Amino acid sequence: MFTLPWLDLPLVWAGLIAIAVLAYVLLDGFDLGVGILFAVEPEDGDRDVMVNSVAPVWDGNETWLVLGGGGLFAVFPLAYATIMPALYPVIISMLLGLIFRGVAFEFRFRATTRSGRRLWDLAFFSGSTLAALCQGLALGGLLQGIKVVDRAYAGGWFDWLTPFTVLCGIAVVIGYALLGSTWLIWRTEGPLQTRARGLAKILGIATLALIAAVSLWTPMLNPVFADRWFGWPGIALTAPVPILVALLAWQFWRGLRLCHDVTPFACALGWFVLCFAGLGISVYPNMVPPSITIWQAAAPPESQAFLLVGAVVLIPTILAYTFYAYWVFRGKVTADTGYHH
């Protein structure tokens, strides 16, 4: 049978799943962030512009989450089967939040009364915030470790709820809000853009503080993480991460000061990529910290090879199309025209 013996399939698949999750965080991050920013942008016209700026792309963004979840089930069933029960309330809440905001996208434009519209706006805001918070909690819960006995989750109900995971939850909400505000700087103009710039300053500081807090706390969770970050030779790999974060921070404020359109967004995305890389450095070679490695979690090679054929053809196609769609929708979004160039 077809198994590709010359390829370290689990490692390849771990990379692909990581790419899918990163793509999800970067892409859905900014559109969830736009929803979170509804809290501080109460005006109907501005809200329309904000929603229109993400309307053409949000659904494609969200599909990466299906790809990540479906992919995990297909090629790392043990990881899927232990992470999901361990984070049960968090995952369910995240899904419900995403449902609310997904349909709010469609329905807020169809609501015929003002109060109806307010209700869907509220659904959009709270769904976005809940989804972001849960993603942070899930990240924290995974990092602090999941207790597995006999290939099944063996922890308690609320193991995922600790000060550390709450910090991660807040960090993701604030980080997504930062992505949202910098996205608005890029894609809008006038007073909305000016306000987004002001927000980005505050959110930028808050995000950096939270990144620092999570980064300092993570090595304390687990001696392996600490050794990875501060021991030799790990430090050769890890030292560039904070340095690059600082460099991006300098660029970020320079871009804000000089009123660049794209630079703040690009820098905020860069922070997320670096944080993601940092996570990878901490967790590798585990799939489910602290006890299940990538290879232990892997489905048999017959399964991994079978799906790899489809993934190799379809994922680049999807990526290419994603870039194309973003290219098509480049330019500023205004109140009267929807999109213009």
Least Cβ distance, residue 281 to other proteins (angstroms)? 26
Least Cβ distance, residue 184 to other proteins (angstroms)? 17
Amino acid type, 252? F
Site for other proteins in 101-130 (CB under 8 A): 102-103, 105-107, 109-110
| DSSP β-bridge partners for residue 149 | 152
Cβ proximity to other proteins: between 125 and 252 the closer is: 125
Site for other proteins in 1-40 (CB under 8 A): 1
Q: For residue 46, state whether it binds other proteins (rule: CB under 8 A).
A: no
Out of 23, 49, 51, 177, the only residue in the binding site for other proteins (CB under 8 A) is 51
3-state secondary structure at position 298: coil
Least Cβ distance, residue 334 to other proteins (angstroms)? 12
Cβ proximity to other proteins: between 193 and 303 the closer is: 303
Least Cβ distance, residue 263 to other proteins (angstroms)? 24
Q: For residue 284, state whether it binds other proteins (rule: CB under 8 A).
A: no
3-state secondary structure at position 75: helix
Sequence-distant (6+) residues with CB within 8 A of 327 are none
C-alpha to C-alpha distance for 75 and 232, rounded to whole angstroms: 33
C-alpha to C-alpha distance for 17 and 34, rounded to whole angstroms: 25
C-alpha to C-alpha distance for 316 and 312, rounded to whole angstroms: 7
Cβ proximity to other proteins: between 167 and 315 the closer is: 315
Q: For residue 84, state whether it binds other proteins (rule: CB under 8 A).
A: yes
Q: For residue 288, state whether it binds other proteins (rule: CB under 8 A).
A: no
C-alpha to C-alpha distance for 301 and 75, rounded to whole angstroms: 9
The Cβ-side half-sphere exposure at 198, using a 13 Å CA radius, reads 7
Spell out the SS3 assignment of 196-215.
HHHHHHHHHHHHHHHHHHHH
Site for other proteins in 136-165 (CB under 8 A): 151-154, 157
Cβ proximity to other proteins: between 153 and 229 the closer is: 153
Identify which of 162, 135, 138 has the alpha carbon closest to the alpha carbon of residue 33: 135
Cβ proximity to other proteins: between 85 and 219 the closer is: 85
Site for other proteins in 213-272 (CB under 8 A): none
Which pairing describes strands 286-288 and 152-153: parallel, antiparallel, or unpaired? unpaired
Total chain residues near other proteins (CB under 8 A): 72
Quote the tokens at residue 225: 């993480």
Site for other proteins in 297-336 (CB under 8 A): 299-300, 302-303, 306-307, 310-311, 314-315, 317-318, 321-322, 325, 328-329, 331
Out of 34, 81, 142, 249, the only residue in the binding site for other proteins (CB under 8 A) is 81
Residue 171 DSSP one-character state: H
Q: For residue 60, state whether it binds other proteins (rule: CB under 8 A).
A: yes
| DSSP β-bridge partners for residue 293 | 286
